[in-house]
Structure 1
Amino acid sequence: MTKKISIKIIPRSSQNKIVGELENGILKIKLTAAPVNGEANKELIKFLSKEWNIPKSKIKIAQGETSRNKIIEIID
């Protein structure tokens, strides 16, 4: 089973953290990485893996590779 989660990224922040959920159900996350050469995407996967105790291989960016608004898939 695959779970999809909508996320809004705030790159170049002072720390990596989940800020909260926006009104429309989108998860807002701050990341220290800059949105250059996929660094923020790598940081997002690494951060979520650590936060949710899920292997990095189970987290995939389904949409929004080059956008601040992303949909990630968590594969069971």
Structure 2
Amino acid sequence: MFAVEEKKGDLFFRIFVQPKSSKNMISGIHGDALKVKITAPPVDGAANAMCIKYFAKFLGVSKSSVEIVSGQTGRNKRVRVELGASPGDEEKRRNIVKLLTSYA
């Protein structure tokens, strides 16, 4: 079952990447991960870079706030979204969790 974890204000979630797709999109759930279709090929980190760019735009955060913390060379990845500790960030955190879990 897909879940978003919160640790020290950061959000963590799992994704399953399908590279070389016709468009960038979340296509549902794959096991305990969001299934993400990415147009970039799995060559020289291009798919990872596209995942970071896609999630930054999708979640409304900067690219530097999104990091793939594990699974750099595979399809199963763990993503971290770094958020601050200000009151406005708490609302953003809730909105991101709501958005991500809407696919579950």
TM range (shorter): over 0.9
Q: Does 1:7 align with 2:15?
A: yes
Structure holding more helix per residue = 2
Residues in 1 aligned to 2:67 and 2:77: alpha-carbon distance in whole angstroms: 10
Q: Does 1:18 align with 2:26?
A: yes
SS of the counterpart of 1:48? Answer: helix
Residues in 2 aligned to 1:61 and 1:21: alpha-carbon distance in whole angstroms: 18
User: Could you state the TM-score of these two structures normalised by the residue count of structure 1?
Assistant: 0.93
Larger radius of gyration: 2
Find the partner of 1:66 among 64, 69, 73.
73
SS of the counterpart of 2:79? Answer: strand
Residues in 2 aligned to 1:2 and 1:42: alpha-carbon distance in whole angstroms: 20
Residues in 1 aligned to 2:77 and 2:64: alpha-carbon distance in whole angstroms: 17
Question: Which structure 2 residue ranges, 5 or more long, are not aligned?
Answer: 1-8, 84-104
Question: Which structure 1 residue ranges, 5 or more long, are not aligned?
Answer: none
Aligned-residue identity in percent: 37
User: Could you state the TM-score of these two structures normalised by the residue count of structure 2?
Assistant: 0.69
Residues in 2 aligned to 1:11 and 1:73: alpha-carbon distance in whole angstroms: 20
Aligned residues: 75
Once the two structures are TM-superposed, the CA of residue 49 in structure 1 deviates from its matched residue by 0.8
